[in-house]
Structure 1
Amino acid sequence: MHDTDYWLDLHGEVARSDDASRLNVHSLQNLNPLDDQFGVWPKVTVPEALEPFLFTNSGEEFSAHTSLKTYALLDAAKIENLIETLENSNLDHACLFRGKALETVGHLGPWLVCLGQNDQFTRRLFTESKQKWGLWGKRPGIFIRSTCRLQELCDHLRRFTYVQTAAGRRMIFRFWDTECAGALLSAYFDSGLFRLFENIHSIIIIDDSRADIYQAPVCQSRKPFRLTHAGTQRYLALRQEKLCDQIAKAFSNIPEFRESAPNAIREAVGYYVSYGVSFGFRDGPDLFRLALGISLTKCPETTMEEVRAIYSNSFLTESERRAAIIAHVAPHIDAAKRRHAEGLQ
């Protein structure tokens, strides 16, 4: 069995059970991140509107949870040098990946961190800044409130990093990804994902100026978390849709596309990414390079035919074909970089 992260929607209706109807969501609108707070003392760690949900154990909903801890489940792929930062901090932390997965992709994996209310790293997560240490705009992960100790919660969450499909295949399930976490909780709650809340009081998902706080009562059902064939396809489509959104956003910062309409960029990216997926591309960075390389050519349709011809080469393995395709479009990216560099001189 292969552990595959397709980096790939939730189209169509999703069947909802009685369990699903008990997923409660409270939303906060018009959130503002912290600024650099230069010359301010004492510094604020969390936006005022969020503090009751992240660190305050008061109020009716928290009255029975006086020992709630606050955790962040962070995507190391979104935070530069996250592992080194955590190792140099006083915060308890652990990766959900273990063994070979930790060794090979731990630097891109989910890391659970027990946050301190007045800790500098906590402040970074809620700060928007032109400096690299502000992490708000990176949407680095989700926040969890639980009475569990770190290792206990880590062991619990680890059960959901992989999901079994109807075909019996194990697939990485990125429930910590801010871009789609809320959609996944809502869509797959009745597929067994309600068990995620067994040791969790609440999950807080922040997306730009909005925060959604998810809560669910303890359910006695032992229903395992598995995806049907339709559920698997919806998940893969969601991952692909969110990846296309990220790539299109990155395109908007490239000089060649700054005059293009956002909708036109997103449509083209979706087309080229789908094309790449049809040739077996699954890795986000490779799909980005493929879409960018095709977009930068004078005749994208001709380039796509050239890509198809490379993929039809039966003398190459699957991985060799994909490497050859990326090498074929790379000169267009390099040429654009040179043009940009020359323009800055």
Structure 2
Amino acid sequence: MTADTIPVTHIVSHILLEGILPLEPLFPAPEEGNWLMPETLERALFGSADTATACFVILDSGQIPNLPELLEQSGLKYRCLFSGQTGETLAENSPWLVQLVSGARFTRDLFTASDAVWHLWGAQRCIIVRSSQDFHAIWKHFRRLTRIEDAQGKTFYFRFWEAPYFRAALMQGSATEAGQLVPQVSQTLLPRADGLETIEVAPQPKSRGIFVLSAALKKVFGEVALQVFYARLEKRHCEVGNMTRSEFTQHLSGALHAGFRDRDVLEALLDWCAEYDQPVFGQPWAEASLAATAGLQDISRMGNLKRASRRQKAKELAEASP
């Protein structure tokens, strides 16, 4: 267990529990109610006998196939944070609040890794909160956060249940912004690759109005979104695809250094680099193409780069011919 540096005064504690996740599947399967977990994880989620609180998780149906069906079979209390027309329109990408129970199979499956579709570790970016409040109060609180507005009054959906954004709001937002995110007297737990991150925020005055995103935090969210995008590209090409991480870094760094910023174009460029049989960026023909198209839109520069690659290949073939 290691403690991180506490950068802001409204953070009471910030601890990383290491070496406890992910869990391995249990064989043979125990009876329902006996799907227990290591004591350290049980205590982190539910507290001790003297500090017992309810534990809730928010999961994304866009990240977990058949999540509503899994929840229906779980026997746990759950409810979608979207309702009405919004719930119907965004049914496949909706946040669901679930109250976890010690000993329940779904609770253990959430932290278990395997090829089975019901083992959910690594399948989602979720947030977990401990609170003395009941299910309805927690649902009402987080439902209010699904739509927020910026300082100019523009409203938009807020995917706060994705851990990188929630962490940024708690750690880099103001005390007021952090206090608006978490219910009173609660602790936030964020699963990550190297363990379970726990963050406790000092109680703040309760706010019933809409969450207003400051210009500073909006900028932070923009940076987080970029890192999430890069991480998604890396997973796609290195875990699903056949790129090594060094190759991915070389391709992405080359594209960024060349001035590409449009995310759709960056994604297409990485796909192209994965298919290309040799490095692209840094080659003389590529640098000449990029220099000639400086100032044009990314989509035009990519098209010109691909045409230059075809000319280069044709030249190489001609030179190799007897």
| Alignment TM-score, normalising by the size of structure 2 | 0.73
Alpha-carbon distance in structure 2 between the residues aligned to 1:151 and 1:187: 28
Question: Counterparts of 2:94 and 2:266 in 1: how far apart (Å)?
Answer: 19
Pick aligned residue for 1:176 from 135, 151, 161: 161
Question: Within the alignment, does 1:125 sit opposite 2:104 as a pair?
Answer: no
Deviation at 1:174, TM superposition (A): 2.3
Distance 2:266 2:143 in 1: 29
The answer (yes or no) to whether the contact 1:72–1:141 under 8 Å persists in 2 is yes
Contact 1:45 1:118 in 2 (8 A): yes
1:1-345 to 2 correspondence within 5 Å?
20-39=9-28, 44-59=35-50, 62=51, 66=52, 68-220=53-205, 222=207, 225-258=211-244, 260-267=246-253, 275-277=261-263, 290-296=268-274, 298=276, 308-309=299-300
Letter in 2 for 1:188: G
- Name the CA distance, whole Å, in 1 between partners of 2:258 and 2:182: 38
For structure 2, the residue ranges without an aligned partner over 5 or more in a row are 1-6, 307-322
How many residue pairs match? The answer is 282
**Aligned equivalents of 1:210 and 1:295: distance in 2?**
33
The answer for the alignment partner of 1:322 in structure 2 is none
Shift of 1:119: 1.4
Deviations 1:272-309 (A, max 9, x none): 996334xxx6xxxxx78635444346578779989735
Give structure 1 stretches of 5+ with no counterpart: 1-15, 282-286, 312-324, 329-345
Partner of 2:311: none
**Partners in 1 of 2:260 and 2:77 — Cα distance?**
40
Who is 2:4 aligned against? none
Cα deviation, residue 231, structure 1: 2.5
Q: Provide the alpha-carbon RMSD of the alignment.
A: 3.5
Which has a greater percent of strand?
A: 2
Measure, in 1, the Cα distance between the counterparts of 2:258 and 2:109.
35
TM-score (ref. length: structure 1): 0.69
Bigger relative CO (Cα 8 Å, ≥ 6 apart): 1
Q: What CA distance in whole angstroms lies between the structure 2 residues aligned with 1:273 and 1:73?
A: 37
Letter in 1 for 2:109: R
The CA deviation at 1:140 is 3.8
Q: How far apart are 1:55 and its partner, in Å? A: 2.0
Between structure 1 and structure 2, the one with the greater Rg is 2
Shift in alpha-carbon separation, 1:49–1:231, aligned structure 2, 3 A: same
2:67 and 2:172 map into 1 onto residues whose CA distance is 30
Give the SS at the match of 1:204. strand
Give the letter aligned to residue 195 of structure 1.
Q
